[in-house]
Structure 1
Amino acid sequence: MADVTDKSIECLILGVGNILWADEGFGVRAVERFNELFEVTSPKVRIEDGGTLGMYLLEPICETRKLLILDCCDFHGKGAELRILRDDDVRAWSSTKISPHQTGMNDILAAAMLLGKEPEEIAVVGLQPALLDDYGGSLSPEAKAQLTPAAGAA
């Protein structure tokens, strides 16, 4: 990983998730919708499809001052409920993994903290999944209906 002494990315808008696992792919699809709706011209702002890259996301996260994550989140809400999480709510969200075999955002954020390079601000636009048991399927209709509101919230 590059030695980063200053934050070269002012804001990273990061969509994460597995597009082959129903609503788990919400974050990736939401960042795609963001790109359809908004034109970002600042070189200090990056919009990324983080997919299921896990620890490969550590470097851009360490280079970021403000991190906004779009993701499928289990915050025990009703299906397709959209929430914006900040501060302590982000810590609680990141401690829950929907997929037990993947590196969670909690692992990546903890690694950035141990390196002393965690983002100054972190927020999450999260969707409570309505459907997870459709492997190879797309987003549920309820989750699809939340793509534009999530992109707007970002």
Structure 2
Amino acid sequence: MTTSDATILVLGLGNTLLTDEAVGVRVLEHLGTFPEDQTRNLRMLDGGTMGLTLLVEMEDADAMVIIDSAYLEAAPGTVEVFEGAEMDHFLRTRSRNAHDIGLDDLMDALRLREAVPEKRALIGVQPQDLSVGEALTEAVAAAVPEAAEAVTTLAERWKPI
């Protein structure tokens, strides 16, 4: 199946009870406000903190975009896109916390099952605060539209000519 016919899995990760950790989920919510012609081939899934239970969804993806908070060593609210091998390298070489290990484990499980989509990307947003709280910080909230736009830009670029 070509990417133009297929649905791109857009997976928003994060704990909505930990301030900026929720950014992946908040970007999905923002994408829900986009016109249908910009999101028709996107299958948006709130992955929250589901961990390995997401493996089945990810295995079936022809293409995949994951949105998550990430330590980018940048100013809070910085958005960075890691695509294909760049995504793999970033996940393997950055400092990790308990949440990050779940995403690394998912990608390794996909590799073992030979199910890693060729077209894959991680959209990382630098958090400011990961303490208990239900609202994003101002800097990270301001980055949500940029991260959402990055999703639709990838989806458009991944369409075959």
TM-score between the two structures when normalised by the length of structure 1: 0.84
- Residues 45-88 of structure 1: CA deviation (Å, up to 9, x unaligned): 31111110100110011001111111101122222111111123
Change in CA separation of 1:143 and 1:68 when aligned onto 2, cut-off 3 Å: same
Q: Is the Cα contact below 8 Å between 1:55 and 1:103 reproduced in 2?
A: no
> Stretches of 4+ moved more than 6 A in 1?
none
Where in structure 2 are there 5+ consecutive unaligned residues? 152-161
Tell me the SS of whatever aligns to 2:33.
helix
Q: Could you tell me how far apart the structure 2 residues matched to 1:24 and 1:63 are?
A: 26
Where in structure 1 are there 5+ consecutive unaligned residues? 1-6
More helix by share: 2
Number of aligned positions between the proteins: 145
Aligned residue for 1:106?
Answer: 104
Q: CA-atom RMSD, angstroms? A: 2.1
Q: How does 1:1-154 map to 2 (within 5 A)?
A: 10-39=7-36, 40-42=39-41, 45-95=42-92, 96=94, 99-100=97-98, 103-132=101-130, 134-154=131-151
TM-score between the two structures when normalised by the length of structure 2: 0.81
Residue identity over aligned pairs, in percent, reads 28
Q: Is the Cα contact below 8 Å between 2:84 and 2:118 reproduced in 1?
A: no
* Aligned residue identity for 2:40: T
